[in-house]
Structure 1
């Protein structure tokens, strides 16, 4: 029927009602009863099928419990938003976030960098204050009545253009008072140029900071070296620890990438946790098949086991009072999948745009340099509305691979750039990414179930 997803993990029998987001941790008899109901079996057929395996009274009770859940809208629920998608995609789009490529330059030479040492298929350049100022003006002018706006200072390496970052924050603070807006600034950095002055400024002005580190020293130094080959771990690690502490272990996260060279990435996550970091993200590399470090289909069983290992260890640590957040296991299960997110996804190309150092607009940072996706510039606005239109109609209801996937309302169709890079269209999905997303959601639900027992 495609309305539920069932799985077993770490001793838990879990039933997810896909459309409502309701999660049920059940015993064996209910688990098997639900499976038979999903096959379209009626009461008598279920009794016949399970008789001899479970006491008849338990089967009857399981059937009654399932009936109550169905009547209560918590099991086998229909998707009530499917018909609303047409109206949603016609709503007026406002821009609420910009990714400012403040520096197309970098002081590291990371092996997996999609930006080619910050150059993005082009040349090295730093954003001028004038271009950045115009970008903020564009955001204000195109944000409609939305008050809260977000600006991410990105690169390359943003600290290579730190003076302009500070000037733009100052300008933004002036403008938010004049236009009744509230800017939330964020910064992504590799930490090489990080110092006390920068940390103090960020702690005053940045709503979030992303600190790039891949985990264990040998893993990090192999994938994130300086251009001449030396590793960067020993330089950045103490600074990142100090920065995280100065932010009270909140409103930041350390972000790593795992590749085929460290399929045992749970060790990297736990290494970062052991160093004291409480907000951690270690994410799978997305790379062409020919790249020697790219993930392959045959790697999936190993990666799945790593996610299971990590989830089990996180339960232990949480119960011992030394828990931490792992970005990919953080899903909100309290109110079911967010209706807005299930329809809009990440907002790239519509609500969220990337700005190059010279002011060109692209759907997101991963499309920068792909000339066919250039949408306009911050001086003249959107000049290719057909691109925005294409992105606004990209959702889980238009993608064939999403229609039967239980995870569709949690990932909202996945990354458009990954789809384009692997299939030549934003209306497809990166298959290995989908497999990993499904596994992470299963682990996240199990983790919540285990901790709810306390």
Structure 2
């Protein structure tokens, strides 16, 4: 089956969500329910892929050290199986030079500070911001910054600086106090929730563009139903993800994924009720798909790693993404040695199980790391359990989409959450 034939298929997927029957036109990306039928959309199926990586987003691992030692951390407590280290000024400048030399033709480029705990290298971050802003001016670009943090290394100087430079901030809080303290502990095994929430609230005083990422494990998966605990601490933008890379007893098993898929139906009803009551917040597990449903644009690849995103570790090693740091299969070169752009890996939704999945036009394929984790050698393999979760989220999003569109709330709702959280943010 070639690409053109695939997009000409007249396919409709019918399913039940919260006791209501919906039909989803796979190719037109339109929704039908009872007497409601969306008019056939003009779907943008253009499939463009760069021959080289035109960098729009670079993540800098400025510190491979962290005050926490989270049980599920794929970075081995933020040190990535190496002695703790920080990026040098020379490596930072070399990485930024590489970014601008091979950057996107778009007007905006983005640098994310990552770790470990990147704020331990705050002096380097300040130097990087100054150096990058000068570079951006010379190249005629706008530059944006973000930081992924535990919120445990917070000072007034840091708060003022990230506010002054309009940083987007991602903070890891695993939903409820129980879920967070179960796995996110200090190295002395003391719990961290109270201190993390205190740091988060400090950050919120001057910057309400903060994304919370929450990780679900075998022991905490049911805690997602209590997501209102995040609203209670002042969060307005959050998303959940499942633990990856684990072989211990905290890794999700097949039954966990089945249960989570079922829970998204209930969560969608809770979220819709809140929206209709005027409680506006960004629940990313659904809003990601709501935006795609509304845009009616075919998504050919879900992850842009090596398309427009690269990661650099403290030694200047370039990796596919932050999850591959320290893994030889994910290494692409070194900023001190490479003088050419990298070539995209190219996750292809034409291959394997993606081709025949009803959600392929919205999903765009899986995560490279999930594929590698599943097979041990291939980037182009889906994790079928993750696919199950994506499909359940999409069905739930279609349910929300219909009810908001029927009431004329959809566009204003999406605009309200977009204006509050429109930055390029890296989820850990």
Q: Same fold (TM over 0.5)?
A: yes
Q: Give the whole-Å Cα distance in 2 for the aligned partners of 1:113 and 1:2.
A: 44
CA distance in 1, matches of 2:250, 2:280: 31
Change (3 A) 1:123 1:18: farther
Matched, 1:294 2:251: yes
Cα deviations by residue, 1:317-361 (Å, 9 ceiling, x for unpaired): 22222232111101214554434xx23432212311110101111
Structure 2 spans left out of the alignment, 5+ residues: 1-8, 408-428
Within the candidate set 268, 273, 276, 1:319 is matched to 276
Aligned equivalents of 2:50 and 2:152: distance in 1?
45
CA offsets per residue over residues 46-83 of structure 1, 9 Å max, x none?
xxxxxxxxxxxxxxxxxxx8xxx8xx745xx9x984xx
TM-score by length of 1: 0.81
Q: Which among 314, 332, 335 is matched to residue 378 of structure 1?
A: 335
> 2:10 and 2:82 mapped to 1: Cα distance?
46
Whether the aligned pair in 2 keeps the contact of 1:99 and 1:365 (CA below 8 Å) is yes
> Whole-Å Cα distance in 2 between the matches of residues 261 and 449 of structure 1?
34
1 or 2 for the larger relative contact order (CA 8 Å, sep ≥6)? 2
Distance 2:337 2:261 in 1: 47
Instruction: Indicate the SS of the match to 1:265.
Output: helix
Structure 1: runs of 5 or more not aligned = 31-64
Q: Does 1:224 align with 2:232?
A: no
Q: What residue in structure 2 maps to residue 122 of structure 1? A: 82
Q: Structure 2 residue aligned with 1:431, among 380, 384, 393?
A: 384
Moved over 4 A (4+): 333-337, 382-385
Counting only pairs closer than 5 Å after superposition, residues 63-142 of structure 1 correspond to structure 2 as 73=40, 81=45, 85=47, 88-89=48-49, 91-142=51-102
**Worse overlay, 299-308 or 352-361:** 299-308
**Range 115-124 or range 329-338, more displaced:** 329-338
Tell me, yes or no, if the aligned pair for 2:311 and 2:322 is still in contact at 8 Å.
yes
Matched, 1:181 2:141: yes
Cα distance change of structure 1 residues 112 and 217 upon mapping to structure 2, 3 Å threshold: same
Contact kept? 2:148, 2:170, Cα under 8 Å: yes
Q: Secondary structure at the match of 1:260?
A: coil
2:372 equivalent in structure 1: 420
CA shift in 2, pair 1:238/1:73, >3 Å: same
| 1: CA distance, partners of 2:396 / 2:226 | 18
Q: How many residues align?
A: 396
Do the aligned residues in 1 keep the contact of 2:176 with 2:223 (CA within 8 Å)? Answer: no
Aligned to 1:272: 230
TM-score under structure 2 normalisation? 0.86
Contact 1:187 1:206 in 2 (8 A): no
Match of 2:286 in 1: 329
The structure where helix makes up a greater share of residues is: 1
Tell me how far apart the structure 2 counterparts of residues 371 and 154 of structure 1 sit (CA, whole Å). Answer: 20
C-alpha distance in structure 2 between counterparts of 1:22 and 1:245, whole Å? 41
